[in-house]
Amino acid sequence: MKTTRLLLLMGVAGCTLAACGHSRVVRSPRPARMAASSLPPVRVSQPKYGTTVVVARGQTVYRIATEHGITALDLALWNNIPPPYTIYPGQSLRLYPSDRRELPASPPASTSAAARPLATPSPAVVPAVPTVVASTLAWRWPADGNVVGTFAAGDPTRQGIDVAGKAGQPVRAAADGVVVYSGSGLVGYGELVIIKHSDQWLSAYGHNRARLVNEGALVKAGQQIAEMGRSGATRDVLHFEIRYNGKPVDPQQYLPAK
């Protein structure tokens, strides 16, 4: 029996296969001016370590991710699902990143309570700051402007940086690569472009006013790929992420000093 292929181009949930076949470049008019305030948090994933799901007929990456409090992008990256994000009935998917270390097993219980020494409080465990991964890519700033939001390791609400600017100003590719996503289907990112630079490195550009590239386009570092805007935000800003093997890293560790 032939296996039914289920496609997702990270677009609007519930669309038909035909409607999801291609991403559309949007050139929307400049939105009405809004009072500037703090940016709303980007929708973040709630990983369920050790948990997997089996794909049922009719399910998509978007649907599974939504049901489990995970973004479609993270679910695809955690499971190495490349565009066009095809999954199959019976396929097992992780609901957590693959690089989490297993928790140590609990020590065996003592045979006698009297023989057990009094436990001393252990200090709070502080997550280790991840080591900066060396990159051979020649990264460059994706937009001009001041950084108004910074990356914080271990904070799921700060997985990238925010660069403030003016509506319509150029958003540029931070390095050579291929566009693997151009759409607005990821809640919290607005009009979003994702570029794959190698098997390990991705960069993401959110809250654009307009996207100027389609999926599959080859882009060069410094090439304009979008116009800055406030889609999914309350001010004109670029949300920029760099990911290594699906894991967000601090973009300012790789971008040249200003």
Q: Report pLDDT digits (tens) over 73-113.
A: 888 888 888 766 788 888 889 998 876 443 333 333 443 43
- Which homologous superfamily does the CATH classification assign to the domain defined by 1-23+43-100? LysM domain (3.10.350.10)
Mean pLDDT score, 122-134: 54
**pLDDT tens digits, one per residue of 147-198:** 999 999 877 778 999 999 999 999 999 999 999 888 887 777 899 999 999 9
Strand partners, 162: 149, 239
Do strands 52-54 and 237-244 pair parallel, antiparallel, or not at all (unpaired)? unpaired
Q: How many CA atoms lie within 13 A of 70 on its CB side?
A: 26
Q: How many angstroms separate the first and last alpha carbons of the chain?
A: 59
Residue 137: exposed, middle, or buried by beta-carbon count in 10 A (0-12, 13-18, 19+)? middle
pLDDT for residue 99: 60
Token look-up 């304009």 returns 224
Residue spans in the chain of domains classed CATH 2.70.70.10 = 147-253
The CATH number given to 147-253 is 2.70.70.10
Measured CA to CA, the distance from residue 183 to residue 193 in angstroms comes to 7
3-state DSSP assignment of residue 249: strand
- The highest-confidence range among 69-83, 116-130, 139-153, by mean pLDDT, is 139-153
Sheet strands (E) in the chain = 52-54, 92-94, 147-149, 161-164, 170-172, 177-183, 191-196, 201-211, 218-219, 224-228, 237-244, 247-249
Residue scoring higher pLDDT (212 or 58): 212
Mean pLDDT score, 25-47: 50
Mean pLDDT score, 19-35: 42
Separate counts of helices (H) and strands (E) for the chain: 2, 12
Instruction: Name the percent of the chain lying above pLDDT 70.
Output: 69
Residue spans in the chain of domains classed CATH 3.10.350.10 = 1-23+43-100
**How far, CA to CA in Å, does 195 sit from each of 108, 202, 236, 249?**
49, 6, 21, 15
pLDDT for residue 32: 42
